[in-house]
Amino acid sequence: MVLRQALFLMFLLLAGCASRPGPEVLVPDTTTLPDGARNIRVLAMTTRAQVTDYPETFGGNRADKTTFLEYIVSVPPNHQPGKIEWPDLEIDAARHFAVRNDTILSAEAFSRKASQRHVGVYIHGFNTNYQEALFRGVQLAADAQIDGEPIVFSWPSEGSATAYLADRDASDFSRAALADLLTMLTKGRSVSDPLPVLAHSMGARMTMEALVHLSLAGRSDVLDRTVLVLAAPDIDIDLFRKQMASIGKTKHPITILVSSDDRALKISARLAADRTRLGAVDVNDPAIQQLIVDTGVRIVDVTQIESTDSTHSRYIGLFSGVSSVNVNANPFGGVRHAGAFVFNNVGDVFQVIGGALSE
């Protein structure tokens, strides 16, 4: 009982004391776009049910059918890289992220729009509400200055620090829908032009389960046309080994961003009888180096990367240009092979195992 109470308090500390953005932040702003603000067009797919009082947004309940949407979100002139300027009492596009327009799409219209644009997919993690996921996808796209428009896949997280098991069930509930999305988005792409996918925390676990689903269905074509980054993955290390045994070595090595001081993953491990989480492994551990050889993945230690975000969210600084890393292209530069690597605090990459481990 004492341990449970301690873990509960730790979750509350990690959640922070600041108020969370409510569904009202997604009410469209119809005022004139201020000078210096810029619009980001974003597509979204969600397995969440709509919020009754706010048809523009979705909550923690699970929907029988997926919903496809398109948003235009403006980023304010004073935007700071890596940050989301949240509305306070009222939305002001001169100071805040603001939804300018939202449209519910058919699956066919969504697929058509996605096929016409260079896209990348963002999949959020545990304890994330819909508006946080949507605006994070917009922020990452705005700061990385990607060539194309982002797609946010939002699964029905409760958006509560105490709903860990409910969120894990919700992520399992959504893995087939994510597999369908990846199948849709890789259609017509070539192996040399793969679909970029960034999955965080518990969303990384769901993404790996979606890849297992695709592999068992014989859809190696989808796997070959996907390039995946797992940021601080909340995955049991033994489960990951089994997942990779089902998937096999991928055409484009999976990149795994790890931090030895990730507090959220330390709590997750405590809740799982001290089972190691993939996002907190030590790249110098011979067992992890053997895992890399066996699976053909790329593990990058980002512990030294400076970030104003939590230790569990260093990927935000990494992909937003906050950490002295050039994100206008590939933040991993010429690191194209499997292996174990370390980012230092000025954005250089040091390989800690001699030579690339696999092509």
* 306: number of Cβ within 10 Å: 12
**C-alpha closest to that of 195 among 122, 248, 256:** 122
Amino acid at 72: I
pLDDT score recorded for residue 6: 42
Q: Which tokens is 148 given? A: 């194309």
Report, as an integer, the average pLDDT of 298-325: 80
Res 1 pLDDT > 90: no
Mean pLDDT of 6-15: 44
- The whole-number pLDDT of residue 347 equals 55
**Mean pLDDT throughout 32-42?**
96
Confidence of residue 318 (pLDDT cuts 50, 70, 90): confident
Residues 42 and 149: beta-carbon distance below 8 Å? yes
Which residue shows structure tokens 């399992």? 172
Res 18 pLDDT > 80: no
Task: Based on DSSP, count helices (H) and strands (E) in the chain, helices before strands.
Answer: 10, 11
Contacts of 95 (CB under 8 A, 6+ apart): 76, 78, 85
**Closest to 201 (Cα-Cα) out of 309, 141, 278:** 278
List the chain domain ranges. Answer: 35-351
- Of the chain, the end-to-end C-alpha distance in Å amounts to 50
pLDDT bucket at 13, cuts 50 / 70 / 90: very low
Task: Give the pair of three-digit tokens for residue 29.
Answer: 């702003």
User: Does the 35-351 domain belong in CATH 3.40.50?
Assistant: yes
The pLDDT assigned to 329 comes to 38
pLDDT in tens, 19-34: 799 999 999 999 999 9
From the number of C-beta atoms within 10 Å of its C-beta (0-12, 13-18, 19+), residue 35 rates as exposed
CA 222 to chain centroid, in Å, comes to 19
Range 40-67 average pLDDT: 94
CA nearest neighbour of 275 among 320, 235, 246, 326: 235
Each residue of 213-232: pLDDT tens digit?
Answer: 999 999 999 999 999 999 99
Burial (CB count within 10 angstroms: exposed 0-12, middle 13-18, buried 19+), residue 72: middle
One-letter amino acid identity for 320? S
Give the pLDDT score at 333: 46
Structure tokens at 282: 């030590």
Examine the pLDDT at 296 and tell me if it is beyond 60. yes
Dihedral class, residue 268 (left if φ above 0, else alpha if ψ from -120 to 50, else beta):
alpha
pLDDT at position 56 is 80
Residue 9 has pLDDT above 60, yes or no: no
Burial class (CB in 10 A: 0-12, 13-18, 19+), 353: middle
pLDDT tens profile 137-191? 999 999 987 777 899 999 999 999 999 999 999 999 999 999 999 999 999 999 9
Which pairs count as long-range contacts for 107-112, CB under 8 Å and 24+ apart, including other chains? Answer: 107/66, 107/68, 109/68, 110/43, 110/45, 110/68, 110/70, 111/184
Tens of pLDDT, residue by residue over 88-141, are: 888 999 999 999 999 999 999 999 999 888 889 999 999 999 999 999 999 999
Output the pLDDT for position 350: 58
Across the strands, what pairs with 71?
42, 102
Beta strand segments in 52-111, E: 54-75, 98-105
Residue type, 138: V
Percent of the chain with pLDDT over 70: 86
Encode pLDDT of 197-216 as tens digits.
999 999 999 999 999 999 99
